[in-house]
Amino acid sequence: MIINNVGFNHRHDGDFFIERPNGYGDFLLLILKTDAVFTLENKDIIVPKDSFFLYPQGMPQYYRCVPKHEFANDWVHFQFEADDEAEFMKRNIPYAKGITTPHAEFLSWCIKAIADEFTSPSPYAYENMQHYMWLIFNRVSDVINLPAEKAHGAEYELLMTIRHKIYAEPYVPRSITWAAHEVRMSPASFQYYYKKTFDITFVQDFINAKTEYAKMLLTSTNLNAHEIAEKCGYRNYEHFARQFRERCGITPLDYRRSKQ
């Protein structure tokens, strides 16, 4: 594996964006320290902070900060050598998909170590960087495949799929019945494991996803509050406004004014 460049704890103002229609000539690994907006298949998707994201070589890259918010991340540009990619594929880590991880701090520490080795005169620097890269991949693979105490086996991956869907498309109607069917659990078991895994109920997490999407629309579009409520999947504006205020402490319009 060849490390071409690395950045640790890079922070940018609220106008930050990356647009690379032809992608890059290598792989790009990102550890998000703030929420970010990724454009994938012509759709804007919010990827939450503490997520791992990997662009394959040559894939178009479009991502940016949530409007009016800081953007912060760690990143590594690298290339696989010899059988590296085949070994990587054994870990079942998907390309171009945000993977929220409880180990984000550890992954960030690994990237800092890579950054230190990148400029080190040590004859072991190359070997050390390989070590840290595989540590990152192994830990992310564990999140996907070995959830341990949080859930049992494949249940964790299924629950993560549900969570990814509600944050990627918070405007799509979802229910506990739908989610339980998706993961092949009873509604009661689904609610139990979701709360145990993420320390929040499915319903509250779904409302949080809608609220984050509404905040993005309030700061990046000219849509009025009623239109934004509809865009977020609400049929009733008062319901939207009440849930927004419960989470943000202010009305949607006051939130917009505070960010102007």
Claim to verify: residue 89 and residue 168 sit in the same structural domain: no
Q: Residue 63: what pLDDT?
A: 94
Mean pLDDT for 181-201 is 89
Confidence of residue 154 (pLDDT cuts 50, 70, 90): low
The last residue of a domain, from among 112, 146, 180: 146
Distance CA 218, CA 36 (A): 16
Q: What DSSP line would sit under 39-106, residue for residue?
A: EETTEEEEE-SSEEEEEPTT--EEEEEPTTS-EEEEEEEEE--TTHHHHHHTTTPPSS--EE-TTHHH
What is the CATH classification number for the domain harbouring 227?
1.10.10.60
What is the CATH classification number for the domain harbouring 29?
2.60.120.280
Residue 102 contacts residue 146 (beta carbons within 8 Å): no
pLDDT tens string 32-82: 999 999 999 999 999 999 999 999 999 999 999 988 889 999 999 999 998
Claim to verify: residue 6 and residue 61 sit in the same structural domain: yes
Claim to verify: residue 89 and residue 208 sit in the same structural domain: no
Claim to verify: residue 132 and residue 239 sit in the same structural domain: no
For residue 227, pLDDT over 90 is answered with yes
Lowest mean pLDDT among 2-6, 100-104, 199-203: 100-104
Q: What is the pTM of this model?
A: 0.60
pLDDT tens string 74-100: 999 999 998 899 999 999 999 999 998
Claim to verify: residue 160 and residue 136 sit in the same structural domain: no
What is the phi/psi pair of residue 257, to 5°?
-60, -35
Claim to verify: residue 113 and residue 223 sit in the same structural domain: no
Helix axes 125-145, 104-118, angle to 10 degrees: 160
Tokens encoding 45: 């998707």
The last residue of a domain, from among 146, 174, 204: 146
Q: Residue 68: what pLDDT?
A: 81
Claim to verify: residue 140 and residue 44 sit in the same structural domain: yes
Claim to verify: residue 7 and residue 105 sit in the same structural domain: yes
Claim to verify: residue 69 and residue 30 sit in the same structural domain: yes
27: number of CA atoms within 13 Å, CB side?
Answer: 18
Range(s) of the domain holding residue 199: 152-260
Q: Residue 152: what pLDDT?
A: 45
Instruction: Count how many domains the chain has.
Output: 2
For residue 200, pLDDT over 80 is answered with yes
Claim to verify: residue 118 and residue 218 sit in the same structural domain: no
The last residue of a domain, from among 146, 177, 209: 146
Tokens encoding 12: 């940018």
